[in-house]
Amino acid sequence: MENSKKIKWYNLAFMAFSTVWGFGNVLNGFVYFNGIQVIFSWILMFALYFVPYALMVGELGSAFKNSGGGVSSWIHETIGPKFAYYAGWTYWACHITYIASKGSGGLKALSWMVFQNGTTYDSFPTIAIQLATLAVFLFFCWVASRGLNPLKKLATLAGTSMFIMSILYIVMMFAAPAINPNGGYLSMDFSWDNLIPTFDTKYFTSLSILVFAVGGCEKISPYVNKVENPSKGFPKGMIALAIMVMVCAILGTIAMGMMFDPAVINGSDAAFKSYVSNGSYLAFQKLGEYYHVGNLLMIIYAACNAIGQFSTLVMSIDAPLRMLLDNEDARQFIPSALLKQNKYGAYVNGIWMVVALSGSIILIQILGGSGAAGVLTQLNKLNSVVMPMRYLWVFAAYIALRKAGDKFHSDYKFTKHQGFALTMGVWCFLITALCCIGGMYEKDLFTVLLNICTPIVLCALGLILPIIKKMED
């Protein structure tokens, strides 16, 4: 009876797949890594980073199966409460840039629904776009401050539909040549020389895009001990996950290669920015043309994306803040003013802090003068620099867990070899850190400053708050 309630390894793989993977990952890989050349990089990233990362998460989840705080709980048990606060702060701080991008992404999706092209939105002045984004952001901050989360079910629905649309794109694109042989598809050169990328500055400074794409599997750690025979079932599930993600990444890349010419994407800086911000909509627009349904598929995709962007925005304002401030272990390092709640149970001063930080990023981008497409490109790269910073704590917790020896019991182990376990923990930590640092580089000076200053300000604030709390006490 008990065994019948256990999760099968293939069910775990599908649960994780829908959490980790998305259509935007395929687009970003294709655009930033010169079309089908990204296939080589995807394979390396999965083999040398994603698989060991997922298996380490499995061991951590198994060792701390009764800890509900995720990464913060792992750090609290293995290193100490002060570092657990820093881990929780990092997780929250990473969402500041994410929140700033959701408003822009939602407005972009709405513009595609209304105007059914990318040029209209991209032609608007930067100041107009950013002020509209700020207005949307402030509205959803107000929604969060009222203790309301009416979009939670919509977010789940939008996330599921976006996942279905991603798979549907690959299936429909591969079927398109048989249904419409004269669709005008591009031919691809799969020769070895064409698949090997050029290992230049652009390549290494774009790797943060791939790290950002495959991260986040620590969200499934609570299910490790609910898997049937976790010592064998969990690694099977994670390897199946890696295979599914790799197959989708490769097939999705080939599908895009039938549509878009990398030479056109990289033809100019303006063209590159346009494809980063509009590529996913253009893909569904072209798919609709192949199937003679006009812009129907693109409008459905844009509607799902708009709902997903705005619902994720309100949840990203509220949920990470609650995770940080509800944590009793973290509260001892946080000034009491931030713990103030209104009659709706919302952390009002915490939301004001989100307003100040995310609002500053939105307003600062007006100074960049890079246009609407440039704003989304900047935010895309900024997220790839900041968001993976939270993965560093996963690897720090894993290294500390293995160094603790037999202090913590785990039903599942990534590897029994201590030296190999520590080597892989350090390897993944260094890869993440180097990709975050390398991702800060861009040709545009304003973007470089934004990529460097944002994580420094967020980290500095996290260090200052315990000092304020100590003075307060």
Q: For the segment 231-250, what is each residue's pLDDT rounded down to a tens digit?
A: 778 788 888 888 888 899 99
Q: What is the pLDDT of residues 280-307, one digit of tens each?
A: 999 999 999 999 999 999 999 999 899 8
Reported residue count of the chain is: 473
430, 432, 435, 436: CA torsion to nearest 10 = -110
Q: Average pLDDT of 249-271?
A: 94
Q: Give the DSSP H/E element, type plus range, for residue 164.
A: helix 152-179
Q: Band the pLDDT of 54: cuts 50, 70, 90.
A: confident
423, 429, 434, 440: CA torsion to nearest 10 = 170
Structure-token pair, residue 116: 């059914």
User: Distance (Å, rounded) from C-alpha 90 to C-alpha 392?
Assistant: 10
53, 428 in Cβ contact below 8 A?
yes
- Poorest-pLDDT segment among 43-47, 311-315, 347-351, 436-440: 311-315
300, 165 in Cβ contact below 8 A?
yes
- Poorest-pLDDT segment among 9-13, 134-138, 167-171: 9-13
Instruction: Reply yes or no on whether the pLDDT at 308 is more than 90.
Output: no
User: What pLDDT is attached to residue 79?
Assistant: 93
DSSP character at residue 147: T
Q: Band the pLDDT of 369: cuts 50, 70, 90.
A: low
Higher-confidence position of 15 and 1: 15
- Determine if the pTM surpasses 0.75: yes
User: Distance (Å, rounded) from C-alpha 307 to C-alpha 309?
Assistant: 6
12, 237 in Cβ contact below 8 A?
yes
- Poorest-pLDDT segment among 70-74, 147-151, 189-193: 147-151
Phi-psi region of 444 (alpha: psi -120 to 50; beta: other; left: phi over 0): beta
Structure-token pair, residue 408: 């913590």
Q: Which residues of 45-54 are buried (b: 16+ CB within 10 A; e: fewer)?
A: bbeebbbbbb
- Poorest-pLDDT segment among 57-71, 263-277, 384-398, 426-440: 57-71
For residue 252, the Cα-to-chain-centroid distance in whole angstroms is: 18
Of the chain, the percentage scoring pLDDT greater than 70 comes to 96
Q: Give the DSSP H/E element, type plus range, for residue 294.
A: none
User: What pLDDT is attached to residue 403?
Assistant: 94
- Poorest-pLDDT segment among 57-71, 86-100, 165-179, 395-409: 57-71
Q: What is the pLDDT of residues 448-466, one digit of tens each?
A: 999 999 999 999 999 999 9
Q: Band the pLDDT of 149: cuts 50, 70, 90.
A: low
Instruction: Reply yes or no on whether the pLDDT at 3 is more than 70.
Output: no
Phi-psi region of 260 (alpha: psi -120 to 50; beta: other; left: phi over 0): beta
Instruction: Reply yes or no on whether the pLDDT at 224 is more than 70.
Output: yes
Structure-token pair, residue 184: 């005008």
Structure-token pair, residue 244: 């599914």
Q: Report the candidate in 218, 214, 239, 240 with the shortest Cα–Cα distance to residue 62.
A: 218
Question: What residue spans of 326-417 are helical by DSSP H?
Answer: 328-331, 348-368, 371-386, 391-403
Instruction: Reply yes or no on whether the pLDDT at 262 is more than 60.
Output: yes
Instruction: Reply yes or no on whether the pLDDT at 1 is more than 50.
Output: no
98, 458 in Cβ contact below 8 A?
no
447, 450, 452, 453: CA torsion to nearest 10 = 160
Q: Band the pLDDT of 4: cuts 50, 70, 90.
A: low
User: Distance (Å, rounded) from C-alpha 88 to C-alpha 433?
Assistant: 18
Instruction: Reply yes or no on whether the pLDDT at 424 is more than 60.
Output: yes
DSSP character at residue 316: H
For residue 40, the Cα-to-chain-centroid distance in whole angstroms is: 21
316, 109 in Cβ contact below 8 A?
no
User: In the predicted model, what is the mean pLDDT of the chain?
Assistant: 89
User: Distance (Å, rounded) from C-alpha 274 to C-alpha 14?
Assistant: 33
